[in-house]
Amino acid sequence: MAIRSKSNKLPQTQVLKQILKRCSSLGKKQCYNYDENNLPLDVPKGHFAVYVGENRSRYIVPISFLTHPEFQCLLQRAEEEFGFDHEMGITIPCEEVVFRSLTSMLR
């Protein structure tokens, strides 16, 4: 299952780039330290932060996960439920135990 833009049908790579652009500027109201480019210092290059579960626990995941259909499905659910245009960052609508199980299979 691929990520599709509902409004203008952009190719998947462009949609993923847009998501990552939004990710890098989201979640800035948290108590995390940022570098001169406003990127969180605790997120290594090639990774991004997501928030999962009822407690909105923060997880750092590799960008390579974006190519996996299972992770893309989670992102679609996140977009449908929360959207990507808000200050919190990408919030994944699933239980933490399910998210940890999925990401352990993707590694």
Residue 1: pLDDT band (50, 70, 90) is: very low
b/e 45-55 (16+ beta carbons within 10 angstroms → b): eebbbbbbbee
pTM exceeding 0.85: no
Say whether 33 sits in a helix, a strand or coil.
coil
More confident site: 29 or 70 = 70
Pairing between β-strand 47-52 and β-strand 57-62 as defined by DSSP bridges = antiparallel
Judge contact between 98 and 55, C-beta under 8 A: no
More confident site: 36 or 101 = 101
Chain segment 7-60, per-residue pLDDT in tens:
445 566 666 666 655 554 444 445 567 677 766 777 888 998 899 999 999 999
CA distance 30 to 103: 24
